[in-house]
Structure 1
Amino acid sequence: MAPLKITVIGTGYLGATHAVAMAELGFEVLGLDVVPEKIAMLEAGRAPMYEPGLEDLLARHVAGLPGSSGRLRFTRSWEEVGAFGDVHFVCVNTPQKHGEYACDMSYVDAAFESLAPHLNGPALVVGKSTVPVGSAARLAAKLAELAPAGADVELAWNPEFLREGFAVQDTLHPDRIVIGVRGERGEKLLREVYETPMSEGSPLVVTDFPTAELVKTAANSFLATKISFINAMAEVCEAAGGDVVKLAEAIGHDERIGSKFLRAGIGFGGGCLPKDIRAFMARAGELGADQALTFLREVDSINMRRRGHMVELAREAVGGSFLGKRVAVLGATFKPDSDDVRDSPALNVAGQIHLQGGQVTVYDPKGMDNARRVFPTLGYADSALAAARGAEVVLHLTEWREFRDLDPEELGAVVTDRLLLDGRNALDPARWRAAGWTYRAMGRPQA
C-alpha cells in the first residue's frame, strides 16, 4: 500500500509546525496558505514566527533547500491540494469575534468550502483548529454536500495541544492524541499518521465529535482557572501579609494539586487561553448550559485585574504619577521562547503606563518586531541594559532566561533608582536586594 500523502491547510503557528512535523515523521506533505508572503518564507526555510527548532526542521525537509529530504512543499492551489492528499489537516485560525466572546469560524468555514469541491476521491479531512462544540457535525454535513466524492470523504477532529516554545516537541512526542471520529476508516488512517508517537508511548483517546471538540477548551479552562486561583491567593496574601510563593510551594506538594501553573504574577495571555475560555462561555450559553461556566467569568476577571494591579504598583513605586518618569519594561511577549505578543500582559502593562504619561522603554529577546507593530508609540531598546538606562523603575514582565541571568550590579549601574517590580515572581529577591535593589513582587512581603 502506498504511503499516505498529507496536506496541511493554513501555515500559521499550528499549521507550519504540524506540516514540518509530518515530514519529519516520514510523510510527503503539501502545505497550503492564501498569503503569498508566508509561502515565500517557508519555501526559503524561514518560519513565519519564532519557535525553537522549527527552522531546523524546515531546512531538513523543505523541497529545494540544499540537503533536504524534499518531503515538504507549499502551494496556494486548492486544486493541487485536493488532488495530492489522502489526509487533509485544517489548521486555520479561530480568533475571538470583534466585540463578542464568541469564536470567529469564518476562516474554518472558508477552508472547508474551498477544499471540498476538489475532493474527487476518498479522503479524510481532519480538523485541528479549536472550535465551538457542535462545529464538527455541521462541517461534516458541509463536506457531504460540497465534495464530489460524497460519502467517500470523512471528517475527524484531532485537537492540538501545543505549548508555544515547545511546539515541535509537542507535535512529535505528544502527551496524548485525541481523535473524534464517526467511522473505522478515519480512526485507521489517523492511527497510521500517528504510528510513530504511539509506538513511543503517546496514548490515543478515541471519542466522538463533541468530546474531541471539548477537550481543548476544557483543558485550557482548567489551566486558566489554576493560574487565576494562585493570583487570587496573591491578592489575599498581600492583604494578610503572606507570601504567595511559599503558599504555592506548600500546596504544590499535594499530588492532587501539583506545582505547575502555580506561579503568581500578571496573569496569562496569548492567542489561546483568553479567547478559548471566552468562546467556551459563549458556546455554553448558546447550548443553555451557561450556568456551568459562570466561574470562568471570574477566572477572566482575576486575570485581567492582575495587569491593572501591576500598573498600580508601578505608579505607587514612582511616587503616585507616571508623568515624566522613565520606566523600563523587560518583556513584550506573553511568555518566553516565543515572539507572540497577542493579548500579552507585559505589553498591555507597558501600554497602560505609556498612556498615563510614563516614558516607557521595552526590550524583549524575540518579540520586538511584533511589539512595535502593536504599540509603535512605545520606546524600544536593543538590550536590557539599554532599556533600563536612566529608568526610575524596572518591570520584569516576561520570564525569559536572559532576564533571570541579568547581573543586578551591572543593571544597577545604569538606572536612576534601583527599584525592581517582578511581575512573574521569577527572580531571586535575595540576590537583587543584596545588590541594593528595592525588590517587590505580587503577593509577597516587601522585605
Structure 2
Amino acid sequence: MSPKITVIGLGYLGATHAAAMAELGFEVLGLDVVPEKIARLARGEAPMYEPGLDELLRRHVAGLPGSTGRLSFTESPAEVAAFGDIHFVCVNTPQKPGEYACDMSYVDAAVDALAPHLTRPALVVGKSTVPVGSAARLARRLAELAPAGADAELAWNPEFLREGFAVEDTLRPDRIVVGVTGERAETLLREVYATPLAGGTPFIVADLPTAELVKTAANAFLSTKISFINAMAEICEAADGDVVTLAEALGHDDRIGRKFLRAGIGFGGGCLPKDIRAFMARAGELGAAEALSFLREIDSINMRRRAAMVELTRETLGGSLLGKRVAVLGAAFKPDSDDVRDSPALNIAGQLHLQGAEVTVYDPKAMVNARGVFPTLRYADTAAAAIQGAHAVLHLTEWREFRELDPAALGELVADRQVLDGRNALDPALWRKAGWTYRALGRPTA
C-alpha cells in the first residue's frame, strides 16, 4: 500500500510539490494557515503564476469535475498527522529584516505544530532551504515533541525548482538528494520518487548537513557565474568590448559551459539573493566566514547592475531623468513567473521614478504583484500602451512577448526611438534597422 503524503506550506514550492505528488499517484493532503490560499487551491487555482500548475491542480483536486480526487486541503495539523505517513515541510525561509541570516520561524512553527500529533511512525521531510545544521536541531525537536518518539524520523530533501519550470522540475528532476539517518527514511523516499528514478534520475543519499548544503552551494555557484559575466560586462564597458561575444566564446569551453553567462541587470527573486546572504551568515556562525567572503562581492556586483542601468538611462536621456517618459518592459524577476520579490526590473523602475522620471511598467503576468510592491508607478495593460510617448524603452524581463515585438511598429508610438536592453536578449540589428538607438550593458560598441 502506497504511503499517504502531506505537504505543509502551500506557497510556490508546496503547491507545486503537492500537485506533483498527486500526479505521481499518491493520496495527498496539503496544509496552509491562510484560508484564502486554501480556498483558491480547492478551486484548482494556483496561488501564483506557474506554467502548467493550474492544469495539474484541476486534474487532481478533490471535488472538481473529472479529477482523480487525490489532492485535498486542510488548516488542521491534527488532520495532517492522522492522514499522512510522510510529511513534506515546504514553508518559506525569508531573510531576516536588517540581517543577512535566514528566518527559520516558519519552519520551526511547522514542526512545533505537527510533532505533538504524531502518535504513530512517520517521516518528516524538510524541503525548505535552511542554514546547515538546522535539520539536526529539528530532528531533536521532533523527537522531543512527538508522542511516537524515535518513530517520528526526520530527513532532508532539498528542492531545485526553477520558477517557470517548476512542474517539470518536480516530475522529472535532474537529481534527487536525500539527507537521511537510517535505511527506513531512504526506503520511503525511494518509494515516493520511484517514477522519476525509473526514468533515470540520479538518487544521491547524503547525511543531513550535506543535503542542506547542496541547495545553498548550488545557489552560491549560480550566483557566482552570473556575477562573473556581469563583472566582465563592466570591463567591456571600460574597454569597448562586447560581453555577448565574450560570453559566447567562453561558453564553448566545456569546463565553463554556456548557461548563466548572459550579462544584464543581474539576478533577483525569492531564492538567490537571500540564500547567498544566509549562507554567508551561517558560515560566520560556524567560524568559517573567510570561506564565503567572496560571496559579498558577488552580491555587490549583482546590486551594481541595477544602478548601472539607471545611470545608462540617465546618460541616454541627455544627463537628466526629470520629466522624461520611460517605458519599462518587465516587472517579474524572470520570465514565465509573476514573482516580483527582489526583482531587478521593478527595482530599476522604482529608482527611475524616485529620481524624477515618469515611468510606465508593463508585464504579461506580474502586474498585480508589482502594483502591490510599488503602487506609485504607472502601469499599462499592453507593451504598446506602456511605450506611448516614451523617450526611452527599457527591456528588463526577457519575456518571449518582448523578444517578438515589432520595432518598426513600436517606433511610431514613441517620442524617441531609444531602447536599452537590460537582458541582452533583443536583436540589435533588427532594432537599428527600424531606426532605433540600441544600447545594452557591456556592449558599448555593439
TM-score for both structures, normalised by structure 1: 0.99
Matched, 1:321 2:320: yes
Give CA deviations for 1:310-351 in whole Å, capped at 9, x if unaligned: 000001111111111000000000000000000000000000
Match of 1:214 in 2: 213
**Structure 1 counterpart of 2:39, one-letter code:** A
Q: State the match for 2:362 in structure 1.
A: 363
The code of the aligned residue for 1:315 comes to: R
The corresponding residue for 1:25 is 24
Please state whether the residue corresponding to 2:125 is helix, strand or coil.
Answer: strand
Structural mapping, 1:128-147, within 5 Å: 128-147=127-146
Shift of 1:70: 0.1
Give the Cα separation in 1 of the matches to 2:380 and 2:114: 45
Name the structure 1 match of 2:232.
233
Q: Distance in 1 between matches of 2:210 and 2:377?
A: 44
Cross-structure match for 2:158: 159
> What SS does the aligned partner of 2:113 have?
helix
Q: Give the drift of 1:410.
A: 1.0
Residue 427 of structure 2 is aligned to residue 428 of structure 1? yes
Contact 2:50 2:166 in 1 (8 A): yes
Q: How far, CA to CA, are the matches of 1:254 and 1:151 in structure 2?
A: 50
Does 1:77 find its partner at 2:83? no
What's the counterpart of residue 407 of structure 1?
406
Map of 1:315-354 to 2, 5 A cutoff? 315-354=314-353
Residue in 2 aligned with 1:117? 116
> Quick one: which amino acid aligns to residue 254 of structure 2?
E
Distance in structure 1 (CA, Å) of the matches to 2:89 and 2:323? 50
Q: How many residue pairs end up in the alignment?
A: 446
Distance 1:135 1:251 in 2: 38
Is 1:193 the counterpart of 2:192 in the alignment? yes
| CA–CA separation in structure 2 for the residues paired with 1:259 and 1:45 | 38
Post-superposition offset of 1:134: 0.3
- Matching of residues 38-53 of structure 1 within 5 Å: 38-53=37-52
CA distance in 1, matches of 2:120, 2:411: 67
Q: Do the aligned partners of 2:242 and 2:445 also contact (CA within 8 Å) in 1?
A: no
Is the contact made by 2:240 and 2:445 (CA closer than 8 Å) also made in structure 1?
A: no
Aligned partner of residue 247 in structure 2, secondary structure:
helix
Q: Which runs of 5+ in 2 are unaligned?
A: none
- Matched with 1:93 is 92
Q: Which residue of structure 2 lines up, in the alignment, with residue 394 of structure 1?
A: 393
What is the CA-CA distance between 1:353 and the residue it aligns to?
0.3
Q: Which runs of 4+ in 1 moved over 3 A?
A: none
Counterpart for residue 150 of structure 1 = 149
Gaps of at least 5 residues in structure 1 are none
The aligned counterpart of 1:265 is 264
Instruction: Supply the distance in 1 between the matched residues of 2:276 and 2:11 (Cα, whole angstroms).
Output: 21
Q: Measure the CA separation in 1 of the matches of 2:152 and 2:227.
A: 43
Aligned amino acid, residue 363 of structure 2:
D
Find the aligned partners of 2:126 and 2:283 in 1 and give their Cα distance: 21
Residue matched to 1:440? 439
Q: Is 1:328–1:362's contact at 8 Å kept on the other side of the alignment?
A: yes
Q: 1 CA distance for matches of 2:445 and 2:132?
A: 46
The letter for the 1-side match of 2:67 is: S
- Once residues 256 and 54 of structure 2 are traced to their aligned partners in structure 1, the CA distance between those partners, rounded to angstroms, is 36
Query: What one-letter code is carried by the residue in structure 2 that aligns with 1:205?
Result: I
3-state SS of paired residue (1:196): helix
CA drift of 1:445 comes to 2.9
Aligned partners of 2:349, 2:96: CA distance in 1, in Å?
Answer: 25
Deviation readout 1:127-150 (Å, 9 max, x if unpaired):
000000000000000000000000
1-structure distance, mates of 2:98, 2:445: 39
Corresponding residue for residue 253 of structure 1: 252
Task: Quote the residue 2:64 is aligned against.
Answer: 65
Task: Name the aligned partner's letter for residue 401 of structure 2.
Answer: E
Is the 1:341–1:367 Cα contact (8 Å) retained in structure 2? Answer: yes
Q: Is the 8 A contact 1:159 1:212 kept in 2?
A: yes
Give the whole-Å Cα distance in 2 for the aligned partners of 1:376 and 1:445.
34
Partner amino acid, structure 2, of 1:227: I
Aligned to 1:103: 102
| 1:230 aligned counterpart, secondary structure | helix
Query: Is the CA contact 1:439–1:446 (under 8 Å) kept in the aligned structure 2?
Result: no
**Aligned position for 1:203:** 202
- In 2: Cα distance, 1:236 partner to 1:275 partner: 27
- CA offsets, 1:66-104, max 9 Å, x none? 000000000001110000000000000000000000000
The alignment partner of 2:308 has SS state of helix
Q: Distance in 2 between matches of 1:319 and 1:325?
A: 10
Map 1:300-319; keep pairs closer than 5 Å.
Answer: 300-319=299-318
Structure 1 residue 3 displacement after superposition: 1.4
Amino acid across the alignment from 2:207: D
Q: Provide the rounded CA distance (Å) in 2 between the counterparts of 1:271 and 1:305.
A: 19
User: Which letter does structure 2 place at the counterpart of 1:242?
Assistant: G
Taking the aligned partners of 2:158 and 2:444, their CA distance within structure 1 comes to: 42
Show CA shifts across 1:366-398 (max 9, x none): 000000000000000000000000000000000
Q: Residue type matched to 1:129 in 2?
A: S
2:298 & 2:381 partners in 1: Cα distance?
35
Give the TM-score taking structure 2 as reference length. 1.00
Corresponding residue of 2:383 = 384
Q: Distance in 2 between matches of 1:445 and 1:10?
A: 46
- Corresponding letter in the other structure for 1:87: I
Q: By how many angstroms is 1:446 displaced?
A: 3.5
